[in-house]
């Protein structure tokens, strides 16, 4: 873009994100980049920080497309931009200038309010919004900078596998809407990343955790934020009851001690609930200590909602990004910006999905994420939504034609768990697996509480 003034200069502000503009408005983007992006040089550029936020989100909407194709998708519906383009190196330089802080702020603004409304089906338990914390990893481009910043599951080999970024999210179970996220490297402890997101849960809500998260620090942070917590834990954690409760649960102490065991440096009181389901014993820790307001049987049933995070990650990694997708960015700063872009797009898509479900009084799980994603892409290419009112009208039209966006009702199913990434280039399918379906009907499981006796 050297030399004369580019014909797009002053015009790229006319580009919008289609129906997603309702949540990523030009005003929100302008506020997010203000003070977080270095000022432009003496010559104005068409690649303004606001436009580059939309371009970064476009990279997430069309993960498999090139820079040029994404740019065409964003500008095809704006007549003033027809007949010209911008070279790839200029787009890359503008991405570097934008950085990740502005994208993180856009996410924070879009995620500030709950996705679920007061009447959203399947989102609440006893007046509490149900959320869950969990983490996933994404492969990033193999560069020297990325390998140093993020590391990789190398084992004994120094260059085995892609570098991987670790993302821990706080997400609503009923809507899959993200409320907070923390980005680290492959070796970053999930528990420490979880401490960065717990504060976004909001007072009075309940957060579910998988095994591996229980810690005095997390319980203390939850207490400071007035957040209810339910965590799975192993048998060796908080194993000595101090008080038996009428519903068979008990109170116990969770300690943090130095490795030598000589000095206790933290302690909280937790409630322990044990139950049997599907042939497995499950042990939960919670700071909901009163069995009258939080019955053990209800918490055991509620904990199954934690698995909604697996569906959330499937939406991001398999549907939105594409199977075995590798982030395109070669530097840590751009990797983080790219991840924030994917999280923002996923959040907006689930806001749209929930809006459609709420208009019909349905559970958001019944609305097809992939259908909503494809329709959102079409609205961007056509530049259909210039205002919040227009975006709302699009969502209303989608709700009216619900048959196109509805997932079929299904009974519970289960899937054989196997290695995620095959190590051999041409693996042979095990003979015992030939002909088996990807998923099979899951039997109905009954939850049986196990009373604490000692």
What residue ranges do the domains of the chain occupy? 1-110+368-405, 111-311
Q: Which residues contact 52 (CB under 8 A, 6 or more apart)?
A: 94, 95, 97, 98
**pLDDT at 408 (0 to 100):** 73
Work out the number of other CB atoms within 10 angstroms of the CB of residue 234: 11
Q: What is the phi-psi region of residue 169: left when phi exceeds 0, alpha when psi lies from -120 to 50, beta otherwise?
A: beta
Question: Among the listed ranges 196-210, 356-370, 400-414, which one has the minimum average pLDDT value?
Answer: 400-414
What DSSP line would sit under 202-218, residue for residue?
Answer: -TT-EEEE-TT---HHH
Q: Which residues contact 98 (CB under 8 A, 6 or more apart)?
A: 33, 37, 49, 52, 53, 56, 337
3-state SS, 344-403, equals HHHHHHHHHHHHHHHHHCCCHHHECHHHHHHHHHHHHHHCCCCCHHHHHHHHHHHHHCHH
**Average pLDDT score over residue span 292-297:** 96
Contact present, 230 and 209 (Cβ < 8 Å):
yes
**pLDDT at 52 (0 to 100):** 97
Give Dmax (Cα) for the chain.
82
Contact present, 345 and 61 (Cβ < 8 Å):
yes
**pLDDT at 340 (0 to 100):** 98
**pLDDT per position as a tens digit, 269-285:** 999 999 999 888 999 99
**pLDDT at 410 (0 to 100):** 64
**How far is C-alpha 410 from the chain's CA centre?**
24
**pLDDT per position as a tens digit, 185-228:** 999 999 999 999 999 999 999 999 999 899 999 999 999 999 99
Contact present, 45 and 81 (Cβ < 8 Å):
no
**pLDDT at 245 (0 to 100):** 96
Compute the distance between CA of residue 363 and CA of residue 121 in angstroms, rounded to an integer: 5
- Average model confidence (pLDDT) across the chain: 88
- Nearest partner of 273 among 299, 293, 253, judged by Cα: 299
Q: Where are the alpha helices (DSSP H) in 112-207?
A: 144-150, 190-197
More confident residue, 234 or 438: 234
Task: Please state whether beta strands 206-209 and 228-232 pair in parallel, antiparallel, or not at all (unpaired).
Answer: parallel
Q: ∠ CA 409-412-418 to the nearest 5 degrees?
A: 125
Q: What is the phi-psi region of residue 18: left when phi exceeds 0, alpha when psi lies from -120 to 50, beta otherwise?
A: left
Compute the distance between CA of residue 75 and CA of residue 98 in angstroms, rounded to an integer: 20
**pLDDT at 328 (0 to 100):** 95
Residue 388 CA neighbour count, 13 Å, CB half: 6
Inform me whether the pLDDT recorded for 147 exceeds 70: yes
Compute the distance between CA of residue 433 and CA of residue 224 in angstroms, rounded to an integer: 50
Contact present, 302 and 208 (Cβ < 8 Å):
yes
- In this structure, what DSSP letter does residue 5 have? P
**pLDDT at 433 (0 to 100):** 56
- Say whether 1 sits in a helix, a strand or coil: coil
Compute the distance between CA of residue 174 and CA of residue 168 in angstroms, rounded to an integer: 18
**How far is C-alpha 335 from the chain's CA centre?**
16
Contact present, 110 and 28 (Cβ < 8 Å):
yes
Answering whether pTM is above 0.85, one says yes
128: part of which helix (H) or strand (E)?
A: strand 128-140
> Would you state the structure tokens that stand for residue 134, as one six-digit string?
């969990």
**pLDDT at 232 (0 to 100):** 96
**Average pLDDT score over residue span 424-441:** 57
> Would you state the structure tokens that stand for residue 220, as one six-digit string?
């203390």
Q: Between the CA of residue 125 and those of 119, 204, 288, what are the distances in Å?
A: 12, 11, 13
């Amino acid at each position: 873009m050297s030399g004369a003034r580019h014909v797009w200069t002053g015009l790229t502000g006319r580009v919008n994100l289609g129906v997603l503009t309702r949540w990523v408005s030009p005003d929100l983007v302008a506020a997010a980049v203000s003070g977080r992006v270095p000022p432009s040089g003496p010559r104005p550029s068409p690649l303004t920080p606001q436009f580059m936020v939309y371009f970064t989100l476009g990279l997430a909407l069309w993960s498999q497309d090139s820079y040029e194709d994404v740019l065409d998708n964003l500008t095809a519906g704006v007549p003033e931009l027809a007949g010209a383009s911008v070279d790839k190196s200029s787009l890359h330089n503008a991405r570097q200038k934008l950085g990740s802080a502005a994208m993180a702020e856009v996410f924070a603004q879009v995620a500030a309010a709950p996705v679920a409304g007061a009447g959203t089906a399947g989102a609440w338990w006893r007046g509490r919004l149900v959320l869950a914390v969990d983490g996933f990893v994404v492969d990033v481009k193999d560069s020297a900078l990325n390998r140093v910043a993020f590391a990789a599951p190398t084992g004994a080999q120094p260059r085995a596998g892609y570098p991987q970024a670790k993302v821990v999210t706080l997400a609503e179970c009923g809507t899959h809407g993200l409320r907070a996220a923390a980005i680290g490297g492959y070796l970053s402890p999930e528990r420490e990343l979880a401490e960065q997101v717990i504060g976004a849960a909001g007072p009075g809500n309940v957060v579910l955790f998988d095994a591996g998260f229980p810690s005095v620090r997390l319980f203390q942070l939850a207490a400071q934020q007035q957040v209810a917590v339910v965590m799975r834990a192993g048998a060796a954690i908080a194993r000595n009851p101090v008080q038996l409760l009428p519903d068979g649960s008990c109170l116990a102490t969770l300690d943090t001690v130095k490795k030598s065991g000589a000095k206790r440096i933290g302690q909280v009181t937790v409630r322990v609930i044990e139950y049997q389901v599907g042939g497995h014993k499950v042990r939960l820790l919670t700071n909901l200590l009163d069995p009258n307001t939080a019955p053990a049987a209800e918490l055991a049933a509620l904990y199954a909602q934690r698995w909604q995070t697996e569906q959330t990650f499937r939406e991001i990694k398999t549907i939105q990004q594409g199977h075995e997708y590798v982030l395109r960015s070669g530097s840590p700063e751009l990797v983080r910006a790219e991840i924030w872009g994917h999280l923002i797009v996923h959040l907006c898509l689930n806001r749209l999905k929930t809006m459609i479900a709420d208009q019909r009084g349905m559970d958001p799980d019944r609305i097809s994420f992939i259908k909503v994603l494809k329709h959102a892409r079409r609205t961007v290419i056509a530049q259909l939504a210039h205002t919040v009112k227009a975006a709302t009208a699009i969502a209303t039209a989608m709700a009216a034609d619900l048959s196109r966006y509805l997932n079929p009702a299904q009974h519970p199913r289960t899937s054989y768990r196997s290695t995620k990434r095959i190590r051999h280039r041409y693996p042979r399918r095990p003979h015992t697996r030939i002909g088996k379906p990807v998923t099979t009907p899951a039997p109905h499981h009954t939850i049986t509480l196990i009373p604490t006796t000692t």
